[in-house]
Amino acid sequence: MSALFEPYTLRLLTVPNRVWMAPMCQYSAEADGPNAGVPGDWHFAHYAARATGGTGLILTEATAVSPEGRISPHDLGIWNDTQVEAFRRITGFLKAQGTVPGVQIAHAGRKASTGRPWEGGAPVGPEAGGWQPFGPSPVAFDEGHPVPDALTTGQIAEVVGQFADAARRALDAGFEVVEVHGAHGYLIGEFLSPHSNHRTDEYGGSFGNRIRLALEVVGAVRAVWPEDLPVFFRISATDWLDDKGWTADETVRFAALLKEHGVDLLDVSSGGNAARVRIPVGPGYQVPFAARVKAETGLPVAAVGLITEAEQAEKIVSNGEADAVLLGRELLRSPSWARQAAHELGGRVRVPEQYHRSV
């Protein structure tokens, strides 16, 4: 039996296999009006294709907890009931295919209000339908990006409440996993790193202060999320800035605390908080970070980053480096990757009856 296609249980939720879909922004929602942030036909087709292809768990793209929390004006959101109703159509279909639906709830912080990548991805100002971003400190992400407004402690409390409200709505929308986005230089990750967090109050400076917002968000989400369903946290294991940013050592230390606060799995990525950093990209280049967290803390992990081949993914899981793999670009290229990998490895996935001739 292939380890990649063994079921995996967290709390009382069982995922049918260890091939999971990583969150990937589609930048395809309406930007304003009553349908702003609402998933549409593109999103339904996008997620449905990967579910019929055998993917065990699908995490939505970064789904904003507030309008100002979107990376771009065209991102999905989960701050109102119209969005919830539209998501039900997607989660219902995924469940019918045997796929677990998960949502990544997020706030873009200082990296908010940018254009779509295929339109250049530059910051979008208020005059063009964007807004003024905010973050832990008045430190711009890069040249040409606006200096964000520094959040007050009162505004921080509001953001924590927005994450809790988003988790409540996610449950109502039919999701069975909620993932807090703390990676890639977005708001929570900005607070974690001394590269972007220059605060001198209780939310900045020491390691304990910099992780405060993350733990408050996790606590607020866990308080409204059912005890029998899992909470994930996505982390950038390193800023790739040596000791000038967030480090792998801090990730391990933080992971142990997340475990104590009710997080069930760490989704381990890296980078995104510092512009123009050289990252040694290669097949499975982030897997060692996940493996270290698992080995040193016992917290379950999912590995991500240039995982493209069936045998590569099988080794990661069978060797105990990670409990699951999260595929991104490879699932964009091959929506039925899980079905093909099962064929290669002798595993099994559910195949829709309409596709029985493909087996």
pLDDT at res. 242: 85
The burial class, CB within 10 Å (0-12 / 13-18 / 19+), for 8 is buried
Q: Summarize the confidence of residues 41-68 as an average pLDDT.
A: 98
Q: What percent of the chain has pLDDT over 90?
A: 97
User: What's the rounded Cα separation, in Å, for the pair 78 and 83?
Assistant: 6
pLDDT at res. 330: 97
Residue 232 has pLDDT above 90, yes or no: yes
User: What's the rounded Cα separation, in Å, for the pair 265 and 102?
Assistant: 13
Q: Summarize the confidence of residues 10-34 as an average pLDDT.
A: 98
pLDDT at res. 1: 83
Amino acid making up residue 304: V
Against a cut of 0.95, is the pTM above it? yes
CATH number of 3-358: 3.20.20.70
Residue 98 has pLDDT above 90, yes or no: yes
Q: Are 38 and 29 in contact (CB under 8 A)?
A: yes
Residue 304 has pLDDT above 90, yes or no: yes
Closest of 296, 186, 269, 168 to residue 224, by C-alpha? 168
pLDDT at res. 153: 98
What is the H or E stretch that residue 167 is in? Answer: helix 153-172
Span 197-217, pLDDT tens digits: 999 999 999 999 999 999 999
Q: Residue 217 in 3-state DSSP?
A: helix
Q: Buried b / exposed e across 53-77, counting CB within 10 Å, b at 16+?
A: bbbbbbbbbbbbbbbbbbbbbbbbb
Q: Summarize the confidence of residues 81-92 as an average pLDDT.
A: 98
Q: Summarize the confidence of residues 235-255 as an average pLDDT.
A: 96
pLDDT at res. 301: 98
pLDDT at res. 151: 98
Residue 359 has pLDDT above 80, yes or no: no
- What is the overall mean pLDDT for the chain? 97
User: What's the rounded Cα separation, in Å, for the pair 81 and 170?
Assistant: 10
Residue 102 has pLDDT above 80, yes or no: yes
Q: Are 99 and 52 in contact (CB under 8 A)?
A: no
pLDDT at res. 243: 82
What single DSSP character describes residue 101? E
Span 279-294, pLDDT tens digits: 999 999 999 999 999 9
Residue 229 has pLDDT above 80, yes or no: yes
Residue 130 has pLDDT above 90, yes or no: yes
Joined tokens for residue 184: 């890639």
- Among this protein's residues, is 186 annotated catalytic? yes
Q: Summarize the confidence of residues 271-278 as an average pLDDT.
A: 95
Q: How confident is the model at residue 356 (pLDDT cuts 50, 70, 90)?
A: confident
Q: How confident is the model at residue 95 (pLDDT cuts 50, 70, 90)?
A: very high
Catalytic pick from 8, 27, 186, 203? 186
